Amino acid sequence: MNKKRNLSMLCIPMVFFIICMGISIGSSNINILDTANILLNKMLHIPLRENINPKDISIIWTIRFPRVLLAFMVGGCLSVSGAVVQSILKNELASPYTLGVSSGASLGAGLVIVLGISIPILGVLTLPLVGFLCGLATVYLVIVFSQKVDKTMSNNTIILAGMVFSLFVNALLTTITAVFSEDIKSITMWQMGSFSMKGWSYVKVLLPFLIIGMIGVLKYTKEMDILTFGEEQAKAVGVDTPKVKKNLFIFSATLTGSAVALSGTIGFVDLIAPHIVRRIFGSKHSYVIPMSFVFGGCLMVITDLISRTIISPAELPVGAITALIGAPFFGYVYFKSKKG
């Protein structure tokens, strides 16, 4: 227990270092010590060093820090959702996208792009809001359908329902892009994921959904521990498994839907981070959930850094980088489990 606690405490300086590294490296490189000093000055009012350029302060606080912070939050949301879904479905290769949240969000984004919808008060935030609502609606339909077909909400029923709704919603999106072919590039680029040109407004929008989703998931860590022994055993000790699973899926969809709506469809982070965390910290969810958030956030910051520097000054979609890293990892996990 003390070893796990010590390891978790070491994550604090690691997170700060990775965030500073993500902010420092770019088209105009900034000394990492200057970056740390500027961040500490803004957050804790620590005095600035004399030789810091005022231009660097503006670049860090206005442009790079909100982007890196958003990447960290999105990676954390996706990873926690992955940990929850893998735990409930008892499958380390499962993903929150299995429930259809990314398909629903993509359909919502596609409708906004092709129809040119813009809510006056929200402006550029119209697309992520509509995407989030469509993603959440898809997951809700999957849950309702699963309950109607199977009152116990067995894992196979949920997976099959998620696949059916994902395929149906993807078919609708394909039809829309075929009809409005001039918007194919915009829809495709959104689906591949990016944090480019996303400032403090996006961070502020994601924050309440992150807080609600994390509090909801952390509330059920003990129930998730019990569910790992099987649903029959969980029922025997008084766990209302259908209700717990339904609530966890909703909180997971809140995290995933908000993340996808703001950044696009970014895969594999939700698979990689929980798997690494379980290897280091074990299967107890009071550690798995918060550490998945930390590791997923750090992984997203690193992949975003790669995406915007590997062919600088141009950028690659973040989803392409995570897929290049995640696909081999997925294959490794799958064939290792088959061999076992």
What's the confidence (pLDDT) of residue 340? 53
Q: Count the Cβ atoms, other than its own, within 10 Å of residue 244.
A: 20
Q: Which of 172, 115, 186, 176 is nearest to 138 (CA)?
A: 172
Averaged pLDDT of the chain: 87
What's the confidence (pLDDT) of residue 29? 83
- Residue ranges of the chain with pLDDT lower than 70? 1, 333-334, 337-340
Q: What is the 3-state secondary structure (H, E, C) of 230-298?
A: CHHHHHHCCCCHHHHHHHHHHHHHHHHHHHHHHHCCCCCHHHHHHHHHHHHHCCCHHHHHHHHHHHHHH
Global pTM value: 0.90
What's the confidence (pLDDT) of residue 247? 92
Amino acid letter for position 274: P
What's the confidence (pLDDT) of residue 337? 63
Amino acid letter for position 300: M
What's the confidence (pLDDT) of residue 119? 76
Q: Which domains does the chain have, with CATH numbers?
A: 66-339 (1.10.3470.10)
What's the confidence (pLDDT) of residue 1? 57
What's the confidence (pLDDT) of residue 233? 83
Report the half-sphere exposure of 284 (CA within 13 A, side-chain side). Answer: 7
